């Protein structure tokens, strides 16, 4: 039994049994149903009262913005390199004061979408057991069903005004599912390596793909960083057209290393980082340290006064732009997309995480990067061979 696009966002990125899943159970009474209805009804009244029309005919492209400002940047990399403003409009999917100011919608149209979503969602949620997170998922649905309903109504309205519209997001599953229900061409532009899926009610498992599929909206196109991810999604029943971001291998690499910091200090091991920096200093490498776009930690302060380290604090250039401009021999980081990008550019990636940390990752770090803690001898041997640098 498959999940309707109208409610698939509730279970997005979850492993679902292909046979004998919770979807095949009998529908039960869900005591929270009246609260879901009342909350949703009040919320769509709020959206209706906030409305204001600011556009007449929408442009061809709709770009979804989320909490992280860098998550939609691949749209400009692939589809609008000159950032022409007449080609697109933004939808801030977490800002009701923005998305209600695009088109004025009829109340009963919004309510109709909400009612249809409620009719499909409540029976499915009721089939979950307590251990599978029935209450938590019901609360999530209560909060987000009116949002989904508003987006569906909005996108249908925009589609009627411009039949050529397409929607681009960094993986905003709820609004993407709304677009699919509205028959709008939908692009998922992954902003980084995709996360492994979770089993409903559980985490950190790697089930047999012949027994499980992964719940995702039926995007028309999915852009990914690696073939590993494409195979992972295909094996788990994703039928979207899977494409890889284009990369061209670099030549004439320089005696440099770029170290990409994670978004939080707790996700980095300072001892390994310090050891790595000392090693490459000893061998005369130029060391560049790039902060994550969302980084707010203090680890960088330990290197600020080091004249042999160049720290890049700005969110631009992007990782791939920086690597292409600097052409380093090595790139280092933790379980980061930058290691995948380095590999595809022909730069040697050094992983500062532990091998066991990547066991559930769809991307095969263990075969496409060198682990600093366990395999640094490979790097030492490589550097000791001077022919590698000429």
Q: Residue 144 in contact with residue 33, Cβ under 8 Å?
A: no
Q: Classify residue 2: in a domain, yes or no.
A: no
* Owning domain of residue 192: 8-244
**Domain end point (choices 197, 213, 244):** 244
Chain segment 223-254, per-residue pLDDT in tens = 999 999 999 999 999 999 999 999 999 999 99
Q: Classify residue 300: in a domain, yes or no.
A: yes
Looking at the structure, tell me whether residues 87 and 215 fall in a common domain.
Answer: yes
Q: What are phi and psi of 99, to 5 degrees?
A: -75, -15
Q: Classify residue 118: in a domain, yes or no.
A: yes
Q: Residue 329 in contact with residue 370, Cβ under 8 Å?
A: no
Confidence of residue 263 (pLDDT cuts 50, 70, 90): confident
Least confident window among 29-33, 166-170, 294-298: 294-298
The DSSP bridge partners found for residue 287 are 257, 309
Looking at the structure, tell me whether residues 39 and 145 fall in a common domain.
Answer: yes
Q: Classify residue 1: in a domain, yes or no.
A: no
Looking at the structure, tell me whether residues 179 and 89 fall in a common domain.
Answer: yes
Q: Per the structure, how many domains does the chain have?
A: 2
Looking at the structure, tell me whether residues 216 and 293 fall in a common domain.
Answer: no
- pLDDT above 50: residue 390: no
**Domain end point (choices 211, 244, 277):** 244
Looking at the structure, tell me whether residues 48 and 191 fall in a common domain.
Answer: yes
- pLDDT above 60: residue 215: yes
Q: Classify residue 137: in a domain, yes or no.
A: yes
Chain segment 289-320, per-residue pLDDT in tens = 998 777 776 766 677 667 788 888 877 788 89
Q: Domain containing 281 — which CATH number?
A: 3.40.50.2000
Looking at the structure, tell me whether residues 317 and 346 fall in a common domain.
Answer: yes
Residue with tokens 């009627």: 160
Q: How confident is the model at residue 294, as a pLDDT?
A: 72
CA distance linking residue 307 with residue 114, whole number of Å: 59
Q: How confident is the model at residue 295, as a pLDDT?
A: 72
Looking at the structure, tell me whether residues 380 and 359 fall in a common domain.
Answer: yes
**Domain end point (choices 191, 211, 244):** 244
Looking at the structure, tell me whether residues 212 and 137 fall in a common domain.
Answer: yes
Helix, strand or coil, per DSSP, at residue 265: helix
Q: Residue 382 in contact with residue 388, Cβ under 8 Å?
A: yes
Q: Which helix (H) or strand (E) holds 126?
A: helix 107-126
Looking at the structure, tell me whether residues 237 and 258 fall in a common domain.
Answer: no
Nearest to 182 by CA among 118, 121, 113: 113
Q: How confident is the model at residue 198, as a pLDDT?
A: 85
Least confident window among 97-101, 163-167, 378-382: 378-382
Q: Which helix (H) or strand (E) holds 33?
A: helix 33-50
Q: At 324, list the tokens.
A: 């292409």
Q: Classify residue 80: in a domain, yes or no.
A: yes
Q: Classify residue 249: in a domain, yes or no.
A: no
Q: Classify residue 3: in a domain, yes or no.
A: no
CA distance linking residue 310 with residue 258, whole number of Å: 9
Least confident window among 105-119, 275-289, 303-317, 363-377: 303-317
Looking at the structure, tell me whether residues 66 and 149 fall in a common domain.
Answer: yes
Query: Torsion-angle region of residue 284: left (phi > 0), alpha (psi -120 to 50) or beta?
Result: left
Looking at the structure, tell me whether residues 118 and 210 fall in a common domain.
Answer: yes
Give the mean pLDDT of 172-201.
91
Residue 362: which residues within 8 A CB-CB, separation 6 or more?
Answer: 193, 194, 196, 228, 229, 232, 233
Q: How distant, in Å, are the alpha carbons of 1, 2, 130, 202 from that of 24?
A: 7, 10, 16, 19
Looking at the structure, tell me whether residues 200 and 234 fall in a common domain.
Answer: yes
Q: How confident is the model at residue 69, as a pLDDT?
A: 61
């Amino acid at each position: 039994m498959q999940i309707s696009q109208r409610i698939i966002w509730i279970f997005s990125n979850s492993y679902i049994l292909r046979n004998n899943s919770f979807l095949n159970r009998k529908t039960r009474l869900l005591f929270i149903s009246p609260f879901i209805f009342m909350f949703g009804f009040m919320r769509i009244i709020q959206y209706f009262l906030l409305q204001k029309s600011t556009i007449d005919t929408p442009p061809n492209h709709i770009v979804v913005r989320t909490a992280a400002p860098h998550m939609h940047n691949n749209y400009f990399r692939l589809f609008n390199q000159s950032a022409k403003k007449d080609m697109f409009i933004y939808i801030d999917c977490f800002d009701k004061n923005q998305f209600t100011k695009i088109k004025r919608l009829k109340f009963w149209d919004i309510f109709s979408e909400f009612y249809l979503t409620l009719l499909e969602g409540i029976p499915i949620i009721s089939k979950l057991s307590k251990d599978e997170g029935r209450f938590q998922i019901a609360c999530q649905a209560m909060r987000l069903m009116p949002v989904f309903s508003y987006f569906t109504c909005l996108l249908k309205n925009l589609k009627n005004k411009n039949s050529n519209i397409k929607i681009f997001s960094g993986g905003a599953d709820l609004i993407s599912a709304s677009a699919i229900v509205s028959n709008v061409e939908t692009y998922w532009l992954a902003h980084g390596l995709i996360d492994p899926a979770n089993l409903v009610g559980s985490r950190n498992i790697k089930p047999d793909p012949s027994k499980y599929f992964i719940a995702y909206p039926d995007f028309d196109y999915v852009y990914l960083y690696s073939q590993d991810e494409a195979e992972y999604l295909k094996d788990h029943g994703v039928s979207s057209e899977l494409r890889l971001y284009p990369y061209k291998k670099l030549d004439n690499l320089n005696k440099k290393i770029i170290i990409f910091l994670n978004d939080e200090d707790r996700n980095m091991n300072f001892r390994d980082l310090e050891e790595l920096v000392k090693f490459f200093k000893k061998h005369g490498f130029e060391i560049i340290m790039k902060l994550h776009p969302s980084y707010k930690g203090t680890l960088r302060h330990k290197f600020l006064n080091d004249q042999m380290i160049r720290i890049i604090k700005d969110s631009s250039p992007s990782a791939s732009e920086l690597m292409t401009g600097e052409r380093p021999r090595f790139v280092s980081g933790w379980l980061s997309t930058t290691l995948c990008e380095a590999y595809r550019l022909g730069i040697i990636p050094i992983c500062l995480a532990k091998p066991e940390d990547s066991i559930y990752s769809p991307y095969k770090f263990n075969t496409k990067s060198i682990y600093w803690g366990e395999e640094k001898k490979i790097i030492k041997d490589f550097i000791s061979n001077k022919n590698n640098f000429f």
